[in-house]
Amino acid sequence: MDQGTRGELISRLAEAIRSVTVAHPLRVAIDGPPAAGKTTLADELAVVLRAQDRDVIRATIDDFLVPRAQRYRRGRYSAEGCYFDAHDHAALCRVLLDPLGPGGDRRFRHAVYDRDSDTPSSPPVTTAPADAVLLFDGVFLLRPELIGRWDLRIFVSVPFERTIDRARDRGTAPAGSTADTASTAGTADIERSWRNRYIPSQKLYFATARPTDHADIIVYNDQLQRPTWEVRPHGI
């Protein structure tokens, strides 16, 4: 277990990425619960990698949601609905992960859904360089449907109660939440979303997929400026 500054963590992750050799773009999962700091971590890492002249593809699970009616068919606060119904994993594999993987043609799209309009999205197809890095952040990335499609697996760990505090401080709910039609959500709705939907769905994920068992690196991100990280024995 190592602890250091934020910059030291990002440098360590960049080093881990450089150490992985594959014959196709490197697909990096940055998994963890809502409000764990996945997107911020991925963005910080992208800055460092681009400064090292690495071509970086940034993408997020938020752009692979399914339409609201399907997401909430089990109810607005259903944990099972959050885990089983919220994301289009087949499309994620088809348009992004598989084209960038072994035998893929590297022609990819980074999104299939526009959450603002609740409609399909079809950005132009792009061809990735063979040495590109995909930094993909989101929830439930190490589930069975996706686990074999990552070349490096990072899990951002934060106590669930801390994620509630962060969500309250932000005053926003994550993409795909009951409040995703507005820029902000009331404190009561955020609290209910976390306690009834997001935290129980994470507990379901942990019980069924055991994501930390599959992570190459775990980042303990409760202290943002003094994070701790662990490289797993099967990892880098």
Domain count, the chain: 1
Judged by phi (left if over 0) then psi (alpha if -120 to 50, else beta), residue 37 lies in: left
| Angle at 232 (CA atoms; ends 229, 233), nearest 5 degrees | 145
CA distances, 86 to each of 79, 82, 144, 191, 192 (Å): 10, 5, 16, 19, 18
User: What are all long-range contacts of 145-148, with beta carbons under 8 Å and residues at least 24 apart?
Assistant: 145/89, 145/93, 146/29, 146/89, 146/92, 146/93, 146/97, 147/209, 147/214
- Look at residue 175 in the predicted model and tell me its pLDDT: 56
Q: Are strands 228-231 and 217-220 parallel, antiparallel or unpaired?
A: antiparallel
- Look at residue 179 in the predicted model and tell me its pLDDT: 43
- Look at residue 46 in the predicted model and tell me its pLDDT: 98
Has residue 219 been placed in a domain?
Answer: yes
**CATH value at residue 125:** 3.40.50.300
225: containing domain: 2-231
- Look at residue 184 in the predicted model and tell me its pLDDT: 47
Has residue 236 been placed in a domain?
Answer: no
Q: What is the pLDDT along the chain (236 residues), one digit of tens a residue?
A: 899 999 999 999 999 999 999 999 999 999 999 999 999 999 999 999 999 999 999 999 999 999 999 999 999 999 999 999 999 999 999 999 999 999 999 999 999 999 999 999 999 999 999 999 999 999 999 999 999 999 999 999 999 888 898 888 877 656 555 444 333 457 888 899 999 999 999 999 999 999 999 999 999 999 989 999 999 875 44
- Look at residue 189 in the predicted model and tell me its pLDDT: 87
User: H helices within 115-210, ranges in order?
Assistant: 160-170, 187-192, 199-209
- pTM for the predicted model, two decimal places: 0.92
- Look at residue 173 in the predicted model and tell me its pLDDT: 57
